[in-house]
Structure 1
Amino acid sequence: MSTGDGVDEVAEFAALLTELKERTDRSYGSLARRLGMNTSTLHRYCAGEAVPQDFAPVERLAEFSGATPEERLELHRRWLRAVAVRQAARPRTATTTEPEAAVAEAVLPEAAVARTAEPEAPPAEAGRADAAEAAGADSGGEVGSGGGPARRWYRRRRTALLAAVTCALLATLGTLSALPADRSPSASSPWPSSSADTSGSAPARTTAPAAPRPSPTASPNRSSSPSPTPGGDSPTPRTPEPSTSGGTAPGDATVPLTWTADSQAWALGCGHDYVVAQPPARVPPPPAAQDAGPWAAAQGAVHGRETVVEITVQGRSTTAVVLTALRVRVTGRTDPAPGNVYAMDQGCGGSISPRHFAVDLDRDRPIARPVAGNDTGTPIPAVRMPYRVSSTDPEVLLVTARTQGCDCSWYLELDWSSEGRTGTVRVDDHGRPFRTRSIAGLPRYMYDTSARRWTPYQ
């Protein structure tokens, strides 16, 4: 094989790795942490600068990106070729084992041809071959292509070698075909597709978990769905019911995901406005961000201008759950009541802005629009639906809802799909809608730490 062909094999393997990496919508650093490897190592693999000696990290990348069995089989084939090319570039030593040579010959037929061009028999076999050749010459017969003892020995050795290689490849293909597939390849994917018809698959089995118990340590700032509990298999499949507010309905046990929502998150962890119907002299100093919930509850505070909701979504099992859509439902709009605005920040700021979903509550039909973030100058791609979660791969969705002219009540609906089932979960504030009100025209105060009092915002 020429050097150019070897480079092509490594480049094709690297291109498929890059395709899988881009499918995850993650940076090299974030993806490397999920796969348990070094960031620079993952980058070298995708750039074709190195080829992993073990298939395990490549398999973890394929599983995380949702590759199908056909895609994983193609990836394994390209990896074998790339490894063989890199090994062929090294000088062959006397310590090379027979199984290694068998794999190289199975992957690259040219290597097998080069190796078998001049077969060499063991000394004993060579001696018998010389004797047979002499006997054939004395009797006027031919020894060579007619099949003398040396050629018969080589054919037996070649047959055993090919049988061993065939068994190894069949075992590898059987292992790959048993791997789970959570996502179908996109229409623009360069992977080969399968023509198998899956429309007649059997219905998925469901379980009937015991009734969920509320956690005694639940934070007052968070609303959540019930945690998964063990249960026995149901003898017959049943259709799941969509969950309702806060995940308290009995039908929630059939939903394949759980969620928690923190409605007291602050922008960049330090900036937020609360509207309180009390004068500054009766309002205590601003709390730390982690104590915002009790502080706001004690003051009867309402989110001013914007509400930031941090939603953590996780599957109940390792089976993937696809989040297909995030919708906004406004339950009421009223004119804002009088009050004062109290700013929690002290001129905070940062070089990292997370990606989030932006919601304009002043629109007649608000939508959750994905917005990209920025990490010290490096763009963070916006969240794109559909998005996949499981018990080992949770995700955090950040929703920022703003208003300039109303006192709005609202909640979110999260659509999901898994194993042929679909449903919707309602994400709200402990069974109540979230609430955001305008601060237009209201007095705004900030806390002066030196004077230990609230002063008009400058």
Structure 2
Amino acid sequence: AAGAGAAAGAGAAAEDVPEVERESPAKAPVARRRRTVLLAGTAVVAAVAAAALVVNLVPDKGHNDRSGKQSVGTAASESVDSSPDASEPSGAKGRSASPSASRSGSPTASAPASVSASRSREAAAAQGGDGSADGATAPAVAVNPYKWEDPCSQHYLIDQNPEQVPPPPAEPDARGWVNALGGVAGGQQMLALTVQGTGKATVVLEALHVRVVEKSAPLAWNDFEMGVGCGGGVETTSFGVDLDAGRPSLSPKAGQRDFPYKVSESDPEVFYVFADARTHNVSWYLELDWSSGDRHGAVRLDDKGKPFRTSGNVGRPAYTYPLGDTEWGRNESYPDIPG
């Protein structure tokens, strides 16, 4: 019996040992293969990353003049192009990134009127339309703050001696002449406003407001008259404003009617504004209220982003440039601007 038990124990031990030996060799190679595969995969990823790093570090010989800013701009333009643009023609989708960056990066508000028109379109879009169907957007306004009723009526104050001032310009060249000398309209400034609709819809011009930016003592400069022996006058739609008043406002001249007016793309309107100043130096601009259906807005009118400037000239030394003369001379009728 003891022998049988020992034999049985030995048999059991003999059966246990092979089972352990069969499991261990089977699992170990699998684990090794998994580790090998994992390490190999990691090596491949590392190699790819290293290759990408090398490619990025090697300069592009064909584009070695590109700066970092241009790269950022290109990336920005690609991001813009990736989003669909309903207003862009389908043929424009294949265009390069740089022109797209220029279009999207350009300021919308170069001129104040453009800014107001843009805001109006946004308001229209918020109400369920973009205004493109009926053209109900802000009117386009051309502003000329260097318009003359006649050369004799226009004076400019300039902080220079007469021998330093060139001959008076013709009206179309007045802007460059005045800006080069740092001049300011003296006594009165005339503006021409050409207002036109930008679509088929009629636009109502509700009101035209005067906005004062700054008011100070009149400039103590010399006064230069642009012409001698003139005549005539403006009989069209014109308005006057006294800039010396506490709250300057426009009033119709020569029997003209007041606002509102109507304009469209095919029916523009021209307004003339005469701004007077005697006792102040005034920086100011205009604001035009408009409406079309349920859309409305306001357009700022100024001198290319800067306020208009008009200064009183009473008592200032008066200079004229008579026809045939070659230099400025003191006005014989009134050496100083009368009050």
Bucket of the pairwise TM-score, normalised by the shorter protein: 0.5 to 0.7
Kindly tell me: are residues 351 and 307 of structure 1, through their superposed partners in 2, closer, same or farther at Cα, counting changes over 3 Å?
Answer: closer
- Measured against aligned partners, the alpha-carbon deviations of 1:346-384 in whole angstroms (never above 9, x if no partner) come to 121026533411000011011110112xxxxxxxx5143
Task: Name 1:347's counterpart in structure 2.
Answer: 229
Task: Name 2:75's counterpart in structure 1.
Answer: none
Task: Name 1:405's counterpart in structure 2.
Answer: 279
| Distance (whole Å) between structure 1 residues aligned to residue 253 and residue 311 of structure 2 | 22
Task: Name 1:73's counterpart in structure 2.
Answer: none
| Distance (whole Å) between structure 2 residues aligned to residue 432 and residue 351 of structure 1 | 28
The answer to whether 1:225 aligns with 2:125 is: no
* Alpha-carbon contact 1:212-1:227 (below 8 Å) kept: no
Kindly tell me: are residues 258 and 352 of structure 1, through their superposed partners in 2, closer, same or farther at Cα, counting changes over 3 Å?
Answer: closer
* Amino acid in structure 2 at the alignment position of 1:433: P
The answer to whether 1:260 aligns with 2:138 is: no
Match of 1:337 among 205, 210, 219: 219
- Measured against aligned partners, the alpha-carbon deviations of 1:50-86 in whole angstroms (never above 9, x if no partner) come to xxxxxxxxxxxxxxxxxxxxxxxxxxxxxxxxxxxxx
Task: Name 1:384's counterpart in structure 2.
Answer: 258
| Distance (whole Å) between structure 2 residues aligned to residue 335 and residue 324 of structure 1 | 33
Q: Which runs of 5+ in 1 are unaligned?
A: 1-206, 241-252, 373-380
* Alpha-carbon contact 1:224-1:260 (below 8 Å) kept: no
- Measured against aligned partners, the alpha-carbon deviations of 1:120-162 in whole angstroms (never above 9, x if no partner) come to xxxxxxxxxxxxxxxxxxxxxxxxxxxxxxxxxxxxxxxxxxx
Match of 2:126 among 202, 214, 238: 238
Match of 2:314 among 398, 421, 440: 440
TM-score of the aligned structures, taking structure 1 as reference length: 0.44
Match of 2:252 among 370, 373, 395: 370
Is the partner of 2:328 in helix, strand or coil? Answer: strand
Kindly tell me: are residues 308 and 239 of structure 1, through their superposed partners in 2, closer, same or farther at Cα, counting changes over 3 Å?
Answer: farther
- Measured against aligned partners, the alpha-carbon deviations of 1:186-234 in whole angstroms (never above 9, x if no partner) come to xxxxxxxxxxxxxxxxxxxxx98987979xxx9xxxx7734999xxx99
Over the aligned positions, Cα root-mean-square deviation in angstroms equals 3.3
Task: Name 2:44's counterpart in structure 1.
Answer: none
The answer to whether 1:285 aligns with 2:285 is: no
| Distance (whole Å) between structure 2 residues aligned to residue 349 and residue 314 of structure 1 | 30
Task: Name 1:431's counterpart in structure 2.
Answer: 305
* Amino acid in structure 2 at the alignment position of 1:425: V
Kindly tell me: are residues 305 and 383 of structure 1, through their superposed partners in 2, closer, same or farther at Cα, counting changes over 3 Å?
Answer: same
Q: Could you tell me the percent identity over the aligned residues?
A: 38
Match of 1:361 among 240, 243, 252: 243
Is the partner of 2:153 in helix, strand or coil? Answer: coil
* Alpha-carbon contact 2:136-2:292 (below 8 Å) kept: no
Task: Name 1:203's counterpart in structure 2.
Answer: none
TM-score of the aligned structures, taking structure 2 as reference length: 0.59
Task: Name 1:415's counterpart in structure 2.
Answer: 289
* Alpha-carbon contact 2:186-2:311 (below 8 Å) kept: yes
Tell which structure's C-alpha radius of gyration is larger: 2
Kindly tell me: are residues 413 and 239 of structure 1, through their superposed partners in 2, closer, same or farther at Cα, counting changes over 3 Å?
Answer: farther
* Alpha-carbon contact 2:136-2:201 (below 8 Å) kept: no
The answer to whether 1:311 aligns with 2:193 is: yes
Q: Which runs of 5+ in 2 are unaligned?
A: 1-85, 89-102, 129-134, 334-339
Task: Name 2:268's counterpart in structure 1.
Answer: 394
Kindly tell me: are residues 318 and 279 of structure 1, through their superposed partners in 2, closer, same or farther at Cα, counting changes over 3 Å?
Answer: same
